[in-house]
Amino acid sequence: MTNKFQYFSVGLITTWLCIFGLLSFLVMVVMSFLQHDPDHIALWHFTLQNYEDLFNPIFFKIFLKSFYIAFMVTAACLLLGYPFAYIISRLPERLQNTALLLLLLPFWTSSIVRTYAMMSILKTKGLLNTALLSMGIIHEPLQLLFTNTAVGIGLIYNLLPFMILPIYVNLERFDISLIEAAKDLGAKYTTIFRKVIIPLSVPGIVGGCTLVFLPAMTLFFISDLLGGAKALLLGNLIEDQFLMANNWPRGAATSVLLTVIMAIGLLIYWFKSNKRINYEAAI
């Protein structure tokens, strides 16, 4: 009896994930080694051309640019989000819930809608320029829309909670007595922050950064709407290969490369964190 239930549930999920997770990914890998053919999806002919294409300096440039944008966005989210998460985690519990609710409320509306709203703020005659002009801070409207900055702001706006939440969860959990102990020992607040609080929230920071960095490279619709359709993010590059150039094999190759980079990053983190844990255990 046990077996029947077990076979059914394990079989069900294994089948589903193998077909739609594993198989689809393998098909994509195979596709990335096939030859491009304008009249069909691909020709059944092995080639490395698609990967060679990606080592073209221009594609390399877009990889770098995409990394750069994603890095800046992640850093900005961390700088904005960490203090926010910290302040919230020190609030009384009832207020904490309200604060979190307020944080998440805008995120229950579609991300497209929020990006579109951002568009209307950043326009030449949008709210931001109108406000700055009327306050006399600037005299010429800023040309923000359709620039990298606009894409960056849009990404930060969309991804900020993904940074705040893991850090908050982490900070909220840790033992307040540690801070008390440090205070009793006469440590200054900044020292406590640097030596105790930040090191303890590293897992939250890493989690938040992962959740922000990857989407920041691939959320193509944000740079479509805010960046003026110049191919800025890796996501745009992939989208273009599929929908504009109709070159599926190369699009597949780009995705495979993205996945490989992501996997390497995670492995490094995993390896390092394991080592540190071992190290601590050894002490």
Partner 1 sequence: MKKGLLLILSLFCTVAMADDNVVNVSVWSQELSPNIVQQFQKDTGIKVNYSTFDSNEVLYAKMKASKQTQYDVVEPSSYYITRMVREDMIEKIDISRLSNYKNLNPAFIHPDYDPKGEYSIPWVWGLTGIFVNRKYYPNDKIEKWTDLWSPKYRDSLLLLNDPREVFNVGLMTLGYSPNENNLQHLQQAYQNLVALLPNVRLYNSSSVPSMLVDEDVTIGMAWNADVYKAQLQNPDIEFIYPKDKFVIWVDSLVIPKNAPHRDNAYKFLNYVLQAQIAAMQVKETFYPTANQAALAYLPPELANSQIIFPNADLIKKGYFQTDINDNALDAISRYWQLLKLQ
Partner 2 sequence: MKRPFRSLYLALIYLFLYIPIGTLIVYSFNNAVFSMLWHGFTLNWYAQVLQDSNLWIAVWHSLYLAISATTTALFIGTLAAISLYRYQFRGKNMLQGLLFVIIITPDIVMGIALLILFSLSGLSLGFWSLYIAHVTFCIPFVVVIVYSRAKSIDPNIFAAASDLGASELQTFWHIIVPILLPALISGALLCFALSFDDIVISYFVSGPGFEILPIKIFSLARLGVNVELNALCSLLFGLTLILVCLSQWVTRQKKT
CB 27 within 8 A of CB 252: no
Give the span between the Cα atoms of 154 and 121, in whole angstroms.
11
List C-alpha distances in Å: 181 to 171, 175, 177, 194: 17, 10, 6, 15
- Binding to partner 2 in span 193-232, by CB under 8 A: 210, 214-215, 217-221, 224-225
User: Closest CB to partner 1 among 11 and 228?
Assistant: 228
CB 248 within 8 A of CB 242: yes
List the single partner that 240 binds among partner 1, partner 2, none, CB under 5 to 8 Å by kind: partner 1
Half-sphere exposure of 175 (CA within 13 A, CB side): 5
Pick from 4, 94, 125, 139 the residue near partner 1 by CB under 8 A. 125
Number of other CB atoms surrounding residue 158 within 10 Å: 24
- Residue 123 interacts with partner 1 (CB under 8 A): yes or no: yes
In the list partner 2, partner 1, none, the entry touching 87 (Cβ below 5 to 8 angstroms by class) is: partner 2
Say how far apart CA 197 and CA 205 lie, in whole Å. 12
Q: Which listed option, partner 2, partner 1, none, makes contact with residue 261 (CB within 5 to 8 Å by class)?
A: none
| Contact yes or no for 34/44 (Cβ under 8 A) | yes
Asked if 62 interacts with partner 1 (CB under 8 A), we say yes
* Residue 100 contacts partner 2 per CB under 8 A: no
Q: How far apart are CA 259 and CA 252, in angstroms?
A: 11
Closer by beta carbon to partner 2, 74 or else 255: 255
Contacts with partner 2 in 259-278 (CB under 8 A)? 259, 262, 266
Give the CA dihedral 155, 156, 159, 161, nearest 10 degrees.
-160
**x/- letters, 204..243, toward partner 1 (CB under 8 A):** -----------------------xxxxx-----x--x-xx
| Residue 146 in the binding site for partner 1 (CB under 8 A) | yes
Residues 133 to 192 in contact with partner 2, rule: CB under 8 A: 157, 160
- Say which residues have a Cβ less than 8 Å from residue 47's Cβ, sequence separation at least 6: 33, 34, 35, 249
Between residue 239 and residue 258, which ones bind partner 1 under the rule CB under 8 A?
240, 242-246
Helix H or strand E segment including 44: strand 43-46
The reply on whether position 67 binds partner 1 by CB under 8 A is: no
Asked if residue 111 binds partner 2 (CB under 8 A), the reply is yes
Question: Could you give the angle at the alpha carbon of 111 between the alpha carbons of 107 and 116, nearest 5°?
Answer: 120
Binding characters for partner 2, 43-82, by CB under 8 A (x = yes): -------------------------------------x--
Per CB under 8 A, contacts with partner 1 among 42-61 are 58-59, 61
Query: Which segment (4-12, 66-74, 165-173, 195-203) binds partner 2 by CB under 8 A?
Result: 4-12
Strands (E) located in the chain: 34-35, 43-46
Residue 249 and residue 54 in contact, taking contact as beta carbons nearer than 8 Å: no
> Binding residue for partner 2 (CB under 8 A) from 100, 119, 169, 200?
119
- How many residues of this chain interact with partner 2, rule: CB under 8 A? 77
